[in-house]
Amino acid sequence: MFTGIVTALGTVREVQPIGGGHDLRLVIGTSPDFLGGPTPAVLGASIACSGVCLTVVHLAADAFSVDCSAETVSKTTAGSWKAGSRINLERALKVGDELGGHLVAGHVDGVGEVLSATPENASVRWRFRVPAAIAPYIAPKGSVAIDGVSLTVNEVDGDVFGVNIIPHTASVTTFGTLQPGDKVNIEADMMARYVARLREYQR
Query: What is the pTM for the complete model shown?
Result: 0.93
Q: In the prediction, which pLDDT does 127 show?
A: 98
CA 34 to chain centroid, in Å, comes to 17
Fold of domain 110-202: Elongation Factor Tu (Ef-tu); domain 3 (2.40.30)
CA-atom Rg of the chain in angstroms: 17
Give residue limits of the domains in the chain. Answer: 8-91, 110-202
Whether 8-91 shares its CATH topology with 110-202 is answered: yes
Say how many CA atoms lie within 13 Å of 68 toward its Cβ. Answer: 28
Q: 81-90, 108-117, 120-129, 182-191: which range is least confident on average?
A: 182-191
Fold of domain 8-91: Elongation Factor Tu (Ef-tu); domain 3 (2.40.30)
**What confidence tier does 14 reach under pLDDT thresholds 50, 70, 90?**
very high
Cβ atoms of 94 and 164 closer than 8 Å: no
> Mean pLDDT across the stretch 55-67?
97
Over pLDDT 90: what percentage of the chain? 83
Distance CA 98, CA 76 (A): 28
Nearest 5 degrees, angle CA 93-CA 77-CA 1? 15
